Amino acid sequence: MTQLERKHVHVACAIIERDGLVLSARRSASMNLPLRWEFPGGKIEPGEGREECLKRELVEEMGVEIAVGRALTPATHSYPTFDVTLYPYVCSIVSGDITLHEHSAMTWLLPERMLELEWADADLPIILEYQNSYSTSS
């Protein structure tokens, strides 16, 4: 497969904060990157804005309405069969109770304990940036 044929996916993801904790979601066994932890979100559809995508995906995946806050630095990662660019935003839930429609589990973690989980590789630079910004702001 040449670099031109290689799939590149653009994904908006939510770093959802609540009471000093951050939401982590575990991918189901049937998903790509099975059972890895990630920030919830999804593929940005053609003509869709990143924040619009995040709001749509969180309703679809977890049944919650979110408020989208500050953006963090986008991160690109190359997996063996595709490339992904994540566009992270710090968010909060404004209504609804989380119901998992796609993920197999979720947990709320202290920011400094996030790396204790087995994350999807693309999420790692985002976690590090978030932890650095969180520790300097708290």
The Cα–Cα gap between 111 and 125 comes to: 14
SS (H, E, C) 41-76: EEECCCCCCHHHHHHHHHHHHHCCEEEEEEECCCEE
Note the pLDDT tens digit of each residue in 65-90.
999 999 999 999 999 999 999 999 99
pTM: 0.92
- Measuring CA to CA, which residue among 15, 13, 20 is closest to residue 135? 20
CATH of domain 7-137: 3.90.79.10
Note the pLDDT tens digit of each residue in 24-59.
999 999 988 899 999 999 999 999 999 999 999 999
Structural domain boundaries in the chain:
7-137
The Cα–Cα gap between 86 and 14 comes to: 10
Q: Which two tokens stand for residue 128?
A: 């590090």
Amino acid (one-letter) located at 89:
Y
